[in-house]
Amino acid sequence: MRIGIPRALLYYNYYPLWHSFFEELGHQVVTSSITSKAVLDSGVMSCVDDACLPIKLFHGHVVNLIGKVDAIFIPRLVSICPEEYICPKFIGLPEMIKSSIKGLSDLIVLNYNAHRNLKDAHRAYIELGKMIGAKPSQAVRALQKAAASQQVYDSLLKEGQTPLDMLNGHQGAREGEGKGVIGLIGHPYLLYDEFISMGLISKLRARGYAVLVPENIAQPQIEMACAELPKKLFWSYGKKLLGSGLTMLKDRRVDGVIFLSSFGCGIDAFIVELLQRYNHRLYQIPSALITVDEHSGQAGFNTRLEAFIDMIEWRDGREGYISAHGASLFGH
Amino acid sequence: MNTKKVFLGVDVGSVSINVVAIDQGNNVLGKIYVRTEGKPIQILKKAMEDMASMLPVGVEIRGVGTTGSGRELAAVVVSADVVKNEITAHGIAALTFVPDARTILEIGGQDSKIIILRDGVVSDFAMNTVCAAGTGSFLDRQAARLNIPIEKFGELALKSKSPVRIAGRCAVFAESDMIHKQQMGCSCEDIIRGLCEALVRNYLNNVGKGKEILPRVVFQGGVAANVGIRKAFEEALGYEITVPEHYDVMGALGAAILAKDYVSKGHKTKFRGFEEILKKEFTSRSFECNGCANYCEIVELIAGDSVAARWGGRCGKWTRTNQTAEKRSAVM
């Protein structure tokens, strides 16, 4: 059976796991195309109007798989950690897709919920296996192998690679190579989708900066940073962004921080605000917020990015002077 | 007598095109402020023509810089030495003319920004994210709807005895609120004053959120002409607001100063010359590239009978054919 995985949302977190799970069970995996205007447009057309950009984009990637596969895989992650949740839009994802997109081939839905305990959460994969004709024992074996390749991926991320580099099979400058380090705080489905992030990572690297991303920060450090907050954060991905951001700032590993957020993101609304307040109070490292939506014009994006880099270099006096041609380097 | 060395700054914004000429001591020799009217190329040529006739005989243009959202377009038309984003340009200009400035409030036609300066460098900035409520275009529109010349808008606001509360978060809500209050019988002055206060509130809550606004506060951009907004800022902040003499062309001034600094490092200007700018036929055309699923809108600027520049593509294949841009980025 050919199983389609939409290249959107949690794909960037879990693709090694899902890929190898299905492959271990003898199925062929087809990933939707890289995001393009056509993919985004079809997502916007088929999705409910008031969803956020990443959700619309997920719809587009599902549409992109129609006709290419026998079944489409839709993950429903309710919670990935006891007593924590992830964004409610992820919880209703399969229903949103079913009601908005007509003429879908079979959907294979993973119902993963670790809210009560982590121990039994793997049962979701046994159920998933049943949907594609695998016995529980086969599913467990496949999950073990899949978990191993996910672990390899996660440990490479901790060594400083970005998911984008791993997907493209090349490496960018690491910390300590280049003019400086820019910390990027944003959900993986924004940061590593080059269409949505308007090539943010490659633009920074073209200006001579290495990037540090939340995936590079180890979980214990994230937990430690968030433990100092006055209240427990119960959004897992919000915690990841806030904790990794605080770690980058506290350890002074970055020359500047850029928040990339999609318009209308509820979690980002307070995560970015909290980070900016802590930064303002304790660290005063240059920071900027860039909000993306369905824009196709890059002028506003480039202006903010260019001004941000000018500011860092001007503040440091490193260049001694502002470069004369920021805009042309970012290309058009 | 020696020929006078003159530097030009060009700011092509969404609403206005500004051209300034300065000498080596940053004295303004001439300034032009004209409305873009959606025809940047023609209006820019007209502005350059006016500038040429404004300057005394025997001056020599030694450098030219462009800024604003149309900076790349302007750079091709005039053949600029420096192309710089608006934030850096505004920062440079404010620091030059108001050396003790620590905060810049800038409201232009379609964007608004706040720039925080400390110790003579930009230390933080923010630009409006996705919403243009409270910028010049909205004020323009409301003035037109109330049939008040925009120049009289501020004066009228000052006549108000008891301003009414207008919703300022969104231009659509603001407009319906204004209509509502007007139908209730509130006076025009009170509504306008209410609008000024609403815009200032919105600006400080969005763009100015979390920023440490310290005196001296400089207010620049086209909207700084509006004494009503100025007063509302003073009341909200509790500081006196400085509006520099050339508040309406600060971006262009910044570009001119950057061009002057660039040329002083031994570069020779590439300025096309007034005569050639006026003589040359600049036309633009746009087309959709069918090379991939992104369907980028490519804009081609034709100078005389050759393609001077192309932009709009994501992959860069159209930019590569753009010789001038290539040479310019090589200067980096």
Residue B258 in contact with partner chain A when CB distance is under 8 A: yes
Segments forming the whole domain that contains residue B291:
282-331
* B17/B105 Cα distance (integer angstroms): 20
CATH of A162-330, one of 3.40.50.300, 3.30.200.20, 3.40.50.11900, 3.30.565.10: 3.40.50.11900
B37: tokens are 């009217």
Q: Domain of B72: which CATH number?
A: 3.30.420.40
* B56/B53 Cα distance (integer angstroms): 8
Q: What is the pLDDT of residue A151?
A: 94
Q: What is the pLDDT of residue A237?
A: 92
Q: Where are the domains of chain A?
A: 2-157, 162-330
Q: Does B264 lie in the same domain as B205?
A: no
> Using the 8-state DSSP alphabet, how is residue B64 labeled?
E
Crossing angle of helices A53-65 and A37-46, rounded to 10°: 100
Read off the amino acid at residue B143: A
Nearest chain A CA: its distance from B74 CA (Å) = 13
Q: Does B143 lie in the same domain as B129?
A: yes
Q: Does B149 lie in the same domain as B16?
A: no
Count of other CB atoms within 10 angstroms of residue B52: 18
Q: Does B18 lie in the same domain as B68?
A: yes
> Would B124 be classed as within a structural domain?
yes
User: B residues 61-90 near A, CB within 8 Å?
Assistant: 69, 71-72, 81-88
Q: Do A288 and B71 touch (CB under 8 A)?
A: no
Q: What is the pLDDT of residue A318?
A: 43
Q: Do A37 and B332 touch (CB under 8 A)?
A: no
Nearest chain B CA: its distance from A101 CA (Å) = 21
Pairing of strands A2-5, A71-79: parallel
CATH fold of the domain at A2-157? Rossmann fold (3.40.50)
Tell me, yes or no, if the two domains A2-157 and A162-330 fold the same way.
yes
pLDDT: which is higher, A7 or A325:
A7
pLDDT: which is higher, B64 or A288:
B64
Average confidence (pLDDT) per 10 residues, chain B, 332 residues: 84 91 94 88 93 90 93 91 92 92 90 87 80 75 86 90 84 83 89 90 86 92 91 94 94 95 90 90 86 83 82 75 45 32
Average pLDDT over residues A152-181: 83
Q: Do A38 and B261 touch (CB under 8 A)?
A: no
Q: What is the pLDDT of residue B208?
A: 87
Q: What is the pLDDT of residue B129?
A: 66
Q: Do A332 and B87 touch (CB under 8 A)?
A: no
Q: What is the pLDDT of residue B130?
A: 58
Q: Which chain A residues are closer than 8 Å to B294 by Cβ?
A: 36-38, 195
Residue A286 in contact with partner chain B when CB distance is under 8 A: yes
Mean pLDDT, chain A, as a whole number?
88
Average pLDDT over residues A157-180: 80
The number of distinct structural domains making up chain B is: 3
Q: Does B105 lie in the same domain as B196?
A: yes
Contact A212, A158 (CB under 8 A): no
Q: What is the pLDDT of residue B134?
A: 67
Q: What are residue A180's DSSP bridge partners? A: A209
Q: What is the pLDDT of residue A244?
A: 96
Judge whether residue A90 has pLDDT over 50.
Answer: yes
Q: Does B237 lie in the same domain as B119?
A: yes
> Would B94 be classed as within a structural domain?
no
Helices (H), B216-306: 227-237, 250-264, 274-279
In the Cβ-directed half-sphere of A93, how many Cα atoms lie within 13 Å?
A: 29
Of the candidates A280, A324, A326, the beta carbon closest to that of B210 is on: A280
> Would B287 be classed as within a structural domain?
yes
ipTM (interface pTM): 0.78
> Which among B14, B121, B257, B292 is the top mutation candidate for probing chain A, defined by the most A β-carbons within 10 Å of its own β-carbon?
B121
Q: What is the pLDDT of residue A332?
A: 31
Residue A324 in contact with partner chain B when CB distance is under 8 A: yes
Contact A60, A25 (CB under 8 A): no
Q: Which of B191, B220, B243 is the last residue of a domain?
A: B243
Of the candidates A33, A299, A325, the beta carbon closest to that of B328 is on: A325
Dmax over Cα atoms in chain B, in whole Å?
67
Residue A176 binned pLDDT confidence (cut-offs 50, 70, 90): low
Q: Does B206 lie in the same domain as B167?
A: yes
Residue B129 in contact with partner chain A when CB distance is under 8 A: yes
Nearest Cα residue to A309 out of B111, B93, B88:
B88
> Would B83 be classed as within a structural domain?
yes
> ∠ at Cα A79 (A288, A61), nearest 5°?
65
Nearest Cα residue to B225 out of B168, B163, B149:
B149
